[in-house]
Structure 1
Amino acid sequence: MSADERATVAALVDELISDSETWDPLGRADRAASLAQELPTRLRRFLSEVKVAESDVTVLSNLPVDDDLAPTPVGWDAAAKTGAGSREEVVLLLCGSAIGEPFGWSNQQDGRLIHDVVPAPGMERSLTSASSSAGLSLHTEDVFHPCRGDYVSLFCLRNPDRIGTTYARVDTLSLSAALRDLLSSDSFTFHPDDSHVGVTLNAIDGTDERERRGPSESGAVLFGPGDRPYFRFDIDFMEADGAAATDAMRVVQRELSEHAESVVLSPGDAVFIDNYRVVHGREPFTPRYDGTDRWLKRVNLTRDLRRIYTANAARSRIIVA
């Protein structure tokens, strides 16, 4: 984005913030959708083309980030309590509204619409975005749910160690016709990931006690248009029905690893990942918990908000899971 376009975005951020005394992304989402029509013409046209073309991975650069940005919170709950990075949430909400409808989950980060992606003590090797020393496996966001996002957007506020966001595109996978047929069958069950699970550390033996929340769903890994298929996969939270399907999962996992790419986000960069065409993850890193760690804002985006209203039986952007 040019300096003038950046200034236009910043002015719209100011306008949306001034509409209310306290910042509430959920309460301002409808207004953000309206204001998104006033984003720079080149930006709106670009995001429209991305949507129509079903582009795999798209990066916007030079979005506004506060010069006086707060230290990186130690855990998302600290950000929620202090409102850290709230101005950057507005930036993401506005830009995200130009390509989709923001939504959230009742059992993720206390039902917040915009999430904080930061490392958290005790979660270093977890299978969530709060991990750090363990990499995050390539995965479809919320693989288990029919209302999973069409896009996941990550907005970088801080990344001094240049930690990469990894991804792999379905079109790069080398799969035989027989394997594609098997992956297109309903031979797989997808489960909620640990961000949808209550995890409590057992003080006696240090093991995790988990209460799984939300339904599992059976279905196919490959689906949709035969010439440009859609895709869902999460090796950590799926099962296969039978030996052949299990072998197929292993082949896909190997192919994903071999064709993985990486994008390193800098402050002011926002990436839009097509959740139907791409799986994503994160490289491992060593957290410092000193206010300088990697910090992203994240939002899920859907092309059709009515799917979520129907699932909720209510006009709410937060899926009750």
Structure 2
Amino acid sequence: MHKLVLTAEERANIDALIDGIVAADENWDPMAAMDRAAEAAPSLPRRLRAFLAQARASESDVTVVSGLPIHPDLPPTPSGWDLAAKSGAGHREEVALLLCGTALGDPFGWESQQDGRIVHDVCPAPGMESSLTSASSAKTLSLHTEDVFHPCRADYVSLLCLRNPDAVGTTVTRVGSLDFPDSLRAILKESRFRFYPDDSHTGISLSGNAGDVSRTRSDGMVGPVLFGPERTPYLRFDIDFMSGEDAAADEAIIATQEILGNAAGRVALEPGDAVFIDNYQVVHGREPFAARYDGKDRWLKRLNLSRDIRRLYANSESRSKIIPA
């Protein structure tokens, strides 16, 4: 993990940039804020810009920036992303994440997720405690590639912590730390796996048992689990939203899940910590926790980043940073 801790002077610099972006809109406009953040990003502290540029160039798998400004009058944690969207809760923190994120890639969103918002709110919602979405709490979120089903999935998934009173861990496993048996590696490199949209895209709620997805969805994207460079391959995996095309591939999924779980580490984000997870080299998940719905629950902002925005445009009929459903 690569980490940078900001100084008080650097935090003040970033806070001033946020002030300027927020003041430019009489009414909070997230899309306009995204554009303004991209324009202002070159004015970030030099040490931070250099750190993020190096992370991109070296393909750092897990990158953390610590000490980003969190407003002292942060509102209570909303009980669901929709309430956060309506109120603009935590919009200053959204800008902080956008400012840093643009140093690694271009922000984008999904028409099928959180009403097409660019920056998502990750907070527990009543009735969703055991779902397979970021609105859950009581259920462990398995190690997974974000949006595993789509060719335009993020290169980086970034999370900025606003609150985490129970030190709930984000779990991570790096493909570079794994030792796959040759026989398993050979199967994982073949197009014998089918990947499906997750519940946040479809609105369908599954039980979370491995294999359920193959019984409820008839389509999906077929491809390998391991791909790219021979010695340093990329990885895509989500046991809850993938299935094998044959019995051996199904067995390979179970074996891979065990290997990933045994190699997992954790990052317990504190307020002001932003983690940038390479979605091609790392699978991530989340530990379970007890949501209280008292305004003090865990609350993160999430942003998807693409290293090549033209990849999105080439798979769309417009130059939009929102991928159609």
Both structures adopt the same fold (TM-score exceeding 0.5): yes
Contact map agreement 1:196 1:212 (CA 8 A) in 2: no
Which residue of 2 is the match for residue 81 of structure 1? 86
How many Å separate the matches in 1 of 2:203 and 2:271?
32
Which residue of 2 is the match for residue 295 of structure 1? 299
1:39 counterpart (40, 44, 55) = 44
Change (3 A) 1:200 1:146: closer
Which residue of 2 is the match for residue 239 of structure 1? 243
1:91-145 alpha-carbon deviations (Å, 9 max, x no partner): 0111111111000000101111000000001100000000000111100000000
The structural deviation recorded for 1:78 is 0.8
RMSD: 1.7
Which residue of 1 is the match for residue 320 of structure 2? 316
The structural deviation recorded for 1:315 is 1.1
The structural deviation recorded for 1:26 is 1.9
How many Å separate the matches in 1 of 2:130 and 2:164?
19
Q: How does 1:15-26 map to 2 (within 5 A)?
A: 15-26=20-31
Contact map agreement 1:124 1:134 (CA 8 A) in 2: yes
How many Å separate the matches in 2 of 1:169 and 1:16?
35
How many Å separate the matches in 2 of 1:31 and 1:75?
27
Q: How does 1:223-262 map to 2 (within 5 A)?
A: 223-262=227-266
Letter of the structure 1 residue corresponding to residue 132 of structure 2:
L
SS in 2 for 1:48: helix
The structural deviation recorded for 1:200 is 7.8
Which residue of 1 is the match for residue 209 of structure 2? none
Tell me which stretches of 4 or more aligned residues in structure 1 moved more than 6 Å: none
Which residue of 2 is the match for residue 206 of structure 1? none
1:129 counterpart (129, 134, 138) = 134
**Structure 2, unpaired ranges of 5+:** 1-5, 207-215
SS in 2 for 1:253: helix
How many Å separate the matches in 2 of 1:212 and 1:110?
23
Letter of the structure 2 residue corresponding to residue 115 of structure 1:
H
Contact map agreement 1:151 1:300 (CA 8 A) in 2: yes
Is 1:58 the counterpart of 2:93 in the alignment?
A: no
Q: How does 1:1-321 map to 2 (within 5 A)?
A: 1-199=6-204, 216-321=220-325
How many Å separate the matches in 2 of 1:24 and 1:177?
51
Structure 1 window deviating more from structure 2 (187-196 vs 32-41): it is: 32-41
**Structure 1, unpaired ranges of 5+:** 202-210
SS in 1 for 2:170: strand
How many Å separate the matches in 2 of 1:227 and 1:25?
41
Contact map agreement 1:198 1:212 (CA 8 A) in 2: no
SS in 2 for 1:233: coil
How many Å separate the matches in 1 of 2:205 and 2:282?
31
The structural deviation recorded for 1:313 is 1.6
How many Å separate the matches in 2 of 1:34 and 1:184?
41
Letter of the structure 2 residue corresponding to residue 227 of structure 1:
R
Contact map agreement 1:9 1:64 (CA 8 A) in 2: yes
How many Å separate the matches in 2 of 1:285 and 1:71?
18
How many Å separate the matches in 2 of 1:27 and 1:15?
13
The structural deviation recorded for 1:212 is 7.1
How many Å separate the matches in 2 of 1:212 and 1:20?
43
SS in 2 for 1:299: strand
The structural deviation recorded for 1:24 is 2.0
The aligned length equals: 312
How many Å separate the matches in 1 of 2:178 and 2:246?
22
How many Å separate the matches in 1 of 2:156 and 2:259?
22
SS in 2 for 1:157: strand
The alignment's TM-score, normalised by the length of structure 1, stands at 0.94
Contact map agreement 2:132 2:205 (CA 8 A) in 1: no
1:174-194 alpha-carbon deviations (Å, 9 max, x no partner): 212222121011000000000
